[in-house]
Amino acid sequence: MSELLTASPSVGSYRCGPMSVAEIDGHPDADRIWATIVHLRKIADDAAEAAIAEADSDAADDLDDAVDAERRNIGDRLLGVLSGSDAEIVAKVKRLAESLA
């Protein structure tokens, strides 16, 4: 039934409005019309859930990449801090801690 999303409607369908709930309920094929509506809602819901899941996955990947980059940056800065005399190292560690706060 997914062909409903790609089928070409009649020209006349562009000139009229959709049926109201009352019109659908009063139609002899009301059950079939409602079944079609429910099916289309499910297709729309599934598509929305898939889009949200993909966006969540992309956001998680971006966050992981940012965290990894920051860890590398901190590691590089820490290696730079650990070179020099004891007094220089202490001063560098203090500056590093302040910059991370």
Which pLDDT does position 79 carry in this prediction?
A: 67
Which pLDDT does position 84 carry in this prediction?
A: 64
Q: Is the pLDDT reported for residue 56 higher than 60?
A: yes
Please choose, from the candidates 70, 93, 72, the residue with its C-alpha nearest in 3D space to the C-alpha of residue 81: 93
Amino acid at 46: D
Q: Based on the structure, what is the number of domains in the chain? A: 1
Q: Is the pLDDT reported for residue 82 higher than 70?
A: no
pLDDT level of residue 37 (50, 70, 90 thresholds): very high
Dig out the tokens for 65 from the structure.
């990449």
Contact call for residues 79 and 68 (beta carbons, < 8 A):
no
Dig out the tokens for 46 from the structure.
């599934």
**Range of 45's domain?**
28-100
> For the whole model, what pTM was predicted?
0.54
pLDDT level of residue 55 (50, 70, 90 thresholds): confident
- Residue 23 vs residue 56, higher pLDDT: 23
